[in-house]
Amino acid sequence: MTVPTQQRVAIVTGGSRGIGRASAQRLAADGQAVVLVYGGNKDEADQAVGEITAAGGQAIAVQADVADEAAMTAVFDAAEQAFGGVDVVVHAAGIMHLSTVADLDLDQLDRLHRTNIRGPFVVAKLAANRVRRGGAIINFSTSVMGTLLPTYAAYTASKGAVEVLTRILAKELRGRDITVNAVAPGPTATALFLDGKDADLIDRMAKMAPLERIGTPEDIAEVVSFLAGPARWVNAQVLRANGGMV
C-alpha cells in the first residue's frame, strides 16, 4: 500500500465501538490512515474498517490487550509496516465498574486499574518513543472528575491517574513538537455509559448540561479531530467535552 509522504497515521485503541470507533472514522475522514485496535470483538472491528475503506479511507484492525506491552508494541510495528510511521495515538480503550466504596469488589478494582491505568501507561510509553515530530497523543479522562457522582470513585480515580500522566508526559516530551492532551467526555451515548441505566436516569443526566442532551460519540470525535490535527498550541490540557455540564 502506497501512502503519501505527508499523510498522518493514527493508532486508535478501543476503536471497534463507541467513542473510539467514531474517532477512528473521523480521523480517516480527515485524511489520516488509521490503525484500529480492538480487544476482543473482531467482527465489530472489521465492520468499522469496512466502513472507513468504503468511504475512501485507509484503515487496518489489530487485536491487542492495551495493558500488554508486547501486544501494543506489535500494534506500533503494524502501523509502521502498513503506513510508514505513527503521528497520532488516541487511547480510547477503557472499562467502567460502578460501586460505592463500601461495597467495592477489590478484584474488580484490580481489573479496572489494569485496563484504565496500566493500559494508558503502556500506550503512552510506546507513543513517547515512536510518535513522529509534529504528532499528538490523546488520552481519555471523564467529566465525573468535576461532578464527583456517587458510585464512580474507582473509575474516576483511574481517570485522575490519566490526567496526571497526560500533563507530565507533555512536559517530558519538551522539544519533540508532540502535543499530549486528554478529552474528558460527559454523559455520551455509548454502550459503556448506557449499560444498566434506565430512561429516567439518562434523562436526568441529560438535563445536567445547559444543552439538555446526552453527547454523541461524534461530538467527542470532533474534539479528537481538533487535538489530532490543527490544535498545535493546545498542550498538557484536559478538555471537558460535556455540553457545559461542569
| Residue 192 and residue 18 in contact, taking contact as beta carbons nearer than 8 Å | yes
Does the active-site annotation cover 155? yes
CA–CA distances in Å: residue 188 to residues 99, 136, 160, 193 = 20, 23, 19, 6
Cα 129 from Cα 204, distance rounded (Å): 44
pLDDT score recorded for residue 195:
74
pLDDT score recorded for residue 240:
96
The CA-based diameter of the chain, rounded to the nearest angstrom, is: 56
Which pLDDT tens digit goes with each residue over 38-70?
999 999 999 999 999 999 999 999 999 999 999
Options 38, 76, 155, 193, the catalytic residue: 155
Q: First CA to last CA across the chain, in angstroms?
A: 45
Q: Can you give the pTM of this predicted structure?
A: 0.94
Q: Which CATH superfamily is domain 9-240 in?
A: NAD(P)-binding Rossmann-like Domain (3.40.50.720)
pLDDT score recorded for residue 245:
86
How many CB atoms neighbour CB 177 within 10 A?
11
Mean pLDDT of 229-245: 95
Nearest residue to 158 via CA among 121, 127, 196: 121
- The alpha carbons of the chain give a radius of gyration, in whole angstroms, of 17
Output DSSP code: residue 67.
T
Nearest residue to 137 via CA among 23, 224, 22: 224
Q: Pick 20 or 198 by higher pLDDT.
A: 20
Query: Is residue 3 very low, low, confident or very high in pLDDT (cuts 50, 70, 90)?
Result: very low
pLDDT score recorded for residue 6:
67
Nearest residue to 121 via CA among 178, 68, 71: 68
Which pLDDT tens digit goes with each residue over 132-162?
999 999 999 999 999 999 999 999 999 999 9
* Whether pLDDT at 114 is above 80: yes
* Whether pLDDT at 246 is above 80: no
What are the residue boundaries of the structural domains of the chain, listed by start? 9-240
Query: Is residue 2 very low, low, confident or very high in pLDDT (cuts 50, 70, 90)?
Result: very low
Query: Is residue 1 very low, low, confident or very high in pLDDT (cuts 50, 70, 90)?
Result: very low
Cα 210 from Cα 219, distance rounded (Å): 15
